[in-house]
Chains A and B, each alone.
Chain A
Amino acid sequence: MTATDTVRPHQPMGSRELAAVRADFPLLGRTVRGGKPLVYLDSAATSQKPNVVLEAEVDFYEQRNAAVHRGAHHLAEEATEAFEDARAAVASFVGADVDEIVWTSGATAAINLVTYALSNATAGRGGDAAERFRLAPGDEIVVTEAEHHANLVPWQELCARTGATLRWFGVTDDGRLDVSDVDAVITDRTRVVAFGHVSNVTGAVAPVAEIVAAARRVGALTVLDACQSVPHLPVDLHELGVDLAAFSAHKMLGPTGVGALYGRRELLEAMPPVTTGGSMVEVVTMTDTTYMPPPQRFEAGTQMVAQAVGMGVAAQWLDELGMDRVAAHERELAAELLRITEIPGVRVLGPTDPTDRIAVVSFVVDGVHAHDVNQVLDDQGIAIRVGHHCAQPLHRRFGLAATARASASVYTGVEDIVAFREALAGVRAFFGEE
Chain B
Amino acid sequence: MSSLQNLYQQVILDHAKHPHGHGLVDVPSGHLAGESHQVNTTCGDEVTLRVDVRSTDDGATLERVSWEGQGCSISQASASVMTELVTGQDLREVERLDAAFHALMGSRGKGLDDEEVLDALGDGTAFTGVSQYPARIKCALLGWAALKDSLARSGALADRPGGSDD
Binding site for B on A (CB under 8 A): 33-34, 369-372, 375-376, 379, 386-388, 392, 395, 401-402, 430-432
Contacts and interface: CB of A to CB of B under 8 A. Distances in A.
Interface in B31-89: 42-46, 70-74
A409 to B, nearest CB: 22
Contacts of B136: 371, 375
B21 to A, nearest CB: 19
A323 to B, nearest CB: 33
A388 B44 contact: yes
Q: Which interface class (under 10, 10 to 19, 20 to 34, 35 or more) fits B?
A: 20 to 34
30 contacts: A33-B3, A369-B71, A369-B72, A369-B73, A370-B43, A371-B43, A371-B136, A375-B7, A375-B8, A375-B136, A376-B4, A379-B2, A379-B3, A379-B4, A386-B43, A387-B43, A387-B44, A388-B43, A388-B44, A392-B44, A401-B43, A401-B44, A402-B43, A402-B44, A402-B45, A430-B4, A431-B8, A431-B13, A431-B73, A432-B17
Interface in B1-22: 2-4, 7-8, 13, 17
B46 A401 contact: yes
B70 A401 contact: yes
A349 to B, nearest CB: 14
Contacts of A387: 42-44
A420 B4 CA distance: 17
Given A388-B44, A392-B44, A401-B44, A432 B13 contact: yes
B139 interface: yes
A34 B4 CA distance: 12
Nearest to A395: B44
Nearest to B14: A432
Contact of B72 (A372, A379, A392, A432): A372
Nearest to B10: A432
A36 to B, nearest CB: 11
Interface string B153-164: 000000000000
B91 to A, nearest CB: 31
Given A372-B72, A402-B43, 5 more contacts: A33-B3, A369-B45, A375-B133, A392-B44, A430-B8
Contacts of A401: 43-46, 70-71
B3 A371 contact: no
Contacts of B139: 371
Interface of B: 2-4, 7-8, 13, 17, 42-46, 70-74, 133, 136, 139
A431 B77 CA distance: 13
A369 to B, nearest CB: 4
Contacts of A395: 44
A371 B72 contact: yes
A431 B13 CA distance: 7
B46 A370 contact: no
Contacts of B73: 369, 372, 431
A430 B7 CA distance: 12
A2 B13 CA distance: 61
Q: Which 4 A-B pairs have the closest CB atoms?
A: A371-B72, A369-B72, A401-B44, A379-B4
A373 to B, nearest CB: 9
A387 B139 CA distance: 12
A379 B1 CA distance: 13
A375 B44 contact: no
